[in-house]
Structure 1
């Protein structure tokens, strides 16, 4: 059980641990492993829940289950592509590839969190009463994070229901969402460069998005940018001339974009109705990187279809 190579966020971390636990209950020997660094979404309290990845090095002949990732360009380097037997993800772009390769063992859905998909597997197996409090808490927190406290556009009723069931099983406090996102912000601000590096992706030029794309989810995005803009801008500029930071503000349910290169601003303006002021723009709703990727891919699809439409 593993995920991507660049970093491990709370969704991937929770899914690896909780799905390995389920498979072991079902008599399938499974380990949750990753060589990727943890990012700031795995907060201090989460780390204190005493659930962790296994200290295990994959051996020849091991099979691999991928969670929260389906782009084989970004798999953990321990993965042997031909030995992948299952993919569980909610990111767009590779649905056809895995459907052809794995059939029904490829579960790639437009849903708020991969953690919801893992919850559904526990429920379908009639083993939910056996889930540990730690795994229930991890999955619930991953749903909170990936749905932006249920304000994200990809949030579904399945995500909401999964969180409700898991939060009760984990005995999470009612104020856990605010505490969690505030902890994430404190962690980010204590090591800003590390947080940027741990949640930055390099996108293909044809994605219609800035090639260097960093993202953070915090309680108060305006305060973070106001305090740390210079540090953020200098570091991202050193990564390339086409960059964007999306800071999601849970308190306000908004996305704050920071992109000083004009080319980066233009790419985003082609996808969203936003106005730039001195390299910043505010979207009056929360928007995740994967949602922007869907918009970019949709724009590619429309552009590809235009010559065919013109000929018809």
Structure 2
């Protein structure tokens, strides 16, 4: 059995979509596969997405199972059910572990800069000649993951492959033209209804060598200014409780920018080494919007 899974702490829409859609493809190819996860979906897996009805399966791993990891390649953060020596394929777009997996798996490690891992899974559907058989739900999941991970195609990580994949998948999923706005508004409503869980669900604790604040939370919403105006005190209090070196990146789809909230001055200084920012009372905007994985890449190439 091939077990398709992702990270340990949370499932964003990219990981969620990739697990389900890739398991569907492998089963169509006659390869027994299951999408399995110990982690819970975060706010990017909206109510409408959940209502599409494509759920993960339960499975007790056996000694003969093989694992395929999607949207993650850092083995420190794999789902706890993963047995490292039984990993046979990795599909990811986060930098840092390319060499490790290239040595271990060769061409079965597909780790490259692209907007969404969902695009990589779509490309597997394309080359399989089974794209005509993809379910509407899997097409919709992959399309939505591309929307989210490319920040509605405004991220600097967006490639032509992401744009083409979305067009094909949205057509096959019969998604409405206003789906992007509806989706991001729904994500924002979910975040605002439970801020603490939304922050915890996309928070990473980074090592000092990353040259970024060690507590780094991220969320994507339709209107970041409105969210921060309404909820900043609660957000600041919660983040400060996580440590004394922290930041939040609120990505605003409506106006294509990142709103950084980082009240510790030392945290602001770290960001100033990577970007030109104008801080006002612990906040700074950056346009175009920038993802945490992009900042991590910048940090890896910066000596402080």
Give TM class, smaller chain: over 0.9
Give the alignment partner of residue 299 of structure 1, picking from 278, 297, 302.
302
Cα distance in structure 2, aligned partners of 1:298 and 1:52: 39
**1:208 pairs with 208, 211, 217, which one?**
211
SS in 1 for 2:233: helix
CA shift at 1:236, angstroms?
0.7
Query: What count of residue pairs does the alignment treat as equivalent?
Result: 301
Secondary structure, counterpart of 1:102 in structure 2: helix
> 1:62: how far off?
1.0
Q: Could you tell me how far 1:55 is from its partner in structure 2?
A: 1.9
Structure 2 counterpart of 1:163: 166
Per-residue deviation at 1:276?
0.8
Single out whichever of 51-60 and 145-154 deviates more from structure 2. Answer: 51-60
**What is the deviation of 1:57?**
2.4
Aligned positions of 1:198-237 closer than 5 A:
198-237=201-240
| Other-structure match for 1:310 | none
Distance apart, 1:61 and its partner CA: 2.3
Alignment partner for residue 285 of structure 1, among 280, 285, 288? 288
Report Cα offsets for 1:99-140 as digits up to 9, x if no partner: 000000000010000000000000001000010000000000
TM-score relative to the length of structure 1:
0.95
Q: Report the Cα offset of residue 28 of structure 1.
A: 0.7
Matched with 2:116 is 113
Task: Provide the C-alpha distance between the structure 1 equivalents of 2:245 and 2:85, rounded to a whole number of angstroms.
Answer: 34
Q: Structure 1: state its 5+ residue gaps.
A: 304-312
Cα deviation, residue 284, structure 1:
1.9
Q: How does 1:73-152 map to 2 (within 5 A)?
A: 73-152=76-155
Q: Deviations over 1:223-253 (max 9, x none)?
A: 1011111111111111111001000000000
Is residue 38 from structure 1 mapped to residue 37 from structure 2 by the alignment?
no
User: C-alpha offsets along residues 37-68 of structure 1, whole Å, 9 cap, x if unaligned?
Assistant: 11000001000001111122222221100000
2:9 equivalent to 1:6: yes
Alignment counterpart, residue 179 of structure 1, candidates 152, 174, 182: 182
**Is 1:267 aligned to residue 266 of structure 2?**
no
CA distance in 1, matches of 2:148, 2:238: 25
Which deviations, in whole Å up to 9, do the C-alpha atoms of 1:153-176 show, x marking residues without a partner? 000000000000000000000000
3-state SS of the aligned residue for 1:186? helix
- Mapped to 2, the partners of 1:178 and 1:57 lie a distance apart of 39
The 3-state SS of whatever aligns with 2:34 is coil
* Aligned position for 1:55: 58
Matched, 1:70 2:73: yes
Determine if the alignment matches structure 1 residue 27 to structure 2 residue 30.
Answer: yes
Distance in 2, Cα, partners of 1:299 & 1:157: 28
241, 246, 250: which is aligned to 2:244? 241
Runs of 4+ in 1 over 2 A off after TM superposition: none
> How far apart, CA to CA, are the structure 1 residues paired with 2:61 and 2:17?
20
